[in-house]
A and B are shown apart, each in its own frame.
Chain A
Amino acid sequence: MFKNLLIIGGQDKNENRELIGELYLEKGKIYTIVGPTGSGKTQLIEDIECLSDGFGLTKRKILIDDGISPQHLRSSYQNRLVSHLSQNMHFILDMSVINFLKMRLKCTNFPDDIKSVEKILEYANELSGEKILGHFSLTTLSGGQSRALMIADVAINGTTPIILIDEIENAGIDRLRAMKILVDSDKIVLVVTHDPLLALYGHKRIVMKNGGISKIINRNPYELSLLKQLHSINKVTETIRDDLRRGKQLEKECFYGL
């Protein structure tokens, strides 16, 4: 749909110029957005989502391939740019997984063949700790299973060039694998999070302060090594969680690597 997205800085809440003048967002990269509540994270997403033309609250401009985008891209749902994944999201339809996926594929104009339904399930099961079967009811899926299914769906069916992730719970889902699946789908991935593991997956961190972008941090080699350590700690936690689920007594001999 486009090659890159350029954010041209506007102003913060005190109408001071944003500290970052320009920021290119590229496909296949993960950007983490950090900052306290009220620092302007939601507003930044909204500016991107409506391809702000410099007249909004923040006076930011969002350019596609270095140009202002036509109005129709800005307003209609069919042309929207961002798919959302949030920790609060649930499946609410009382349907089986397989029937929902079939209905969903029909609605989004993809050929209704059993193959892609199977592909979504296969992807989801790569991420989920507990296996999801087609006849399961959507509403009874666990948190991890739901999230895995949502991520697989967005990666495979998502028509938008940007994916926004608002936290992913750490229980029952392989987060590293999830991020890889999303990045491989050739999209810009924005992650709003303060979870260390998730935040450090980002190639760049966009730091928000008082409504403006105050800093861009490139992940340095130390942070990358930290990410690897955090990931092994996370694996240990996962193993313990699994053992607890299976009803095991945890013994010294289990050797969890701690």
Chain B
Amino acid sequence: MKLVIAAGPPASGKTSILFKTIKYLKGFNAKIAVAKLDCLTSDDERVYEALNIPVITGLSENLCPDHFLAINIIEIFNWAKKSGADYLIVETAGLCNRCAPFIDRALNICLIDCLSSIKVPKKLGPIVTTSDIILISKVDMVSQAEREVFVYNLIQLNPTAQILEVNGLSGFGSQRVGNIILNSPSYDSIDGDILRHSMPSATCSYCVGEIRIGGMYQQGIINKMDFSKGSDFSYV
């Protein structure tokens, strides 16, 4: 089975472009299953169901969605295999951009909305640096000149990724994305595979539900801000 992991900030257009890509892949009789991972709620299952394919939704709730993916990916892989799929596409919401949900052997696609972070894709961190394919969405909204600057910055961060421009509304780019997926490698199992980027040690008291603020409630790994480095200006 081929494994595709698609990640990107909320509302960047992941579902739209994946929907169009799956439609294209279905023209090649590809049997596709989709797992949608989100934090609190997701209606996208219904969107994908319209394509007559197996769909499952996982909500990470209290957990960071990247951790949630790492914890569940083998089970998701086995679910898709059991449903008879040849292709598994995992769509997952990026949260704080500290991590990336990418797995070494998967085809890892990162989608960025070029309206949001055109000057500093650096803010997105490992989601950009460890991906195989970078899709730039909403390209019909931004000038060619700015997009070229944007791509230049992306190439500095990840020189090996393939960069494509897409438009989820018109479906522009979905054919090229589809062709890359068609040509990606296939695996029987992903047991023993590794994450491309480590996830942070989320082990402070707030990770486990603490709501009171103040030093006496803080346990575990506490990373305190350094206030010696602020600007020199002060009112006193």
- Could you tell me which A residues sit within 8 Å of B by CB distance? 42, 45-47, 49-50, 52, 56-57, 74-78, 83-86, 88-93, 100, 103-104, 107-108, 146, 149-150, 153-154, 157-158, 166
Contacts and interface: CB of A to CB of B under 8 A. Distances in A.
Given A42-B170, A77-B164, A107-B152, A83 B144 contact: yes
B61 interface: no
A83 to B, nearest CB: 5
Contact of B148 (A45, A52, A76, A104): A104
B98 interface: no
A120 B151 CA distance: 21
B27 A153 contact: no
Contact of A150 (B24, B143, B170, B180): B143
B157 interface: no
23 contacts: A42-B170, A42-B172, A46-B176, A50-B179, A56-B175, A57-B27, A76-B162, A77-B163, A77-B164, A78-B155, A86-B140, A88-B141, A91-B146, A92-B143, A93-B119, A100-B146, A104-B148, A107-B149, A107-B152, A107-B153, A108-B152, A153-B144, A154-B144
- Quick one: which of B143, B164, B175 has the most chain A CB within 10 A? B143
B76 interface: no
Question: Which 7 pairs show the lowest CB-CB distances between chains A and B?
Answer: A107-B152, A77-B163, A153-B145, A50-B176, A107-B149, A42-B170, A89-B143
A104 B148 CA distance: 8
Interface of B: 24, 27, 115, 118-119, 139-146, 148-149, 151-153, 155, 162-165, 170-173, 175-176, 179-180
A88 B172 CA distance: 15
A60 B148 CA distance: 28
Given A77-B163, A89-B143, A107-B152, 20 more contacts: A56-B175, A57-B27, A57-B175, A75-B164, A76-B162, A77-B165, A83-B144, A84-B139, A84-B144, A86-B140, A88-B140, A89-B142, A90-B142, A91-B142, A92-B115, A92-B141, A103-B149, A104-B146, A149-B145, A157-B148
Contacts of A76: 162-163
Contacts of A108: 148, 152
A97 to B, nearest CB: 11
A57 to B, nearest CB: 6
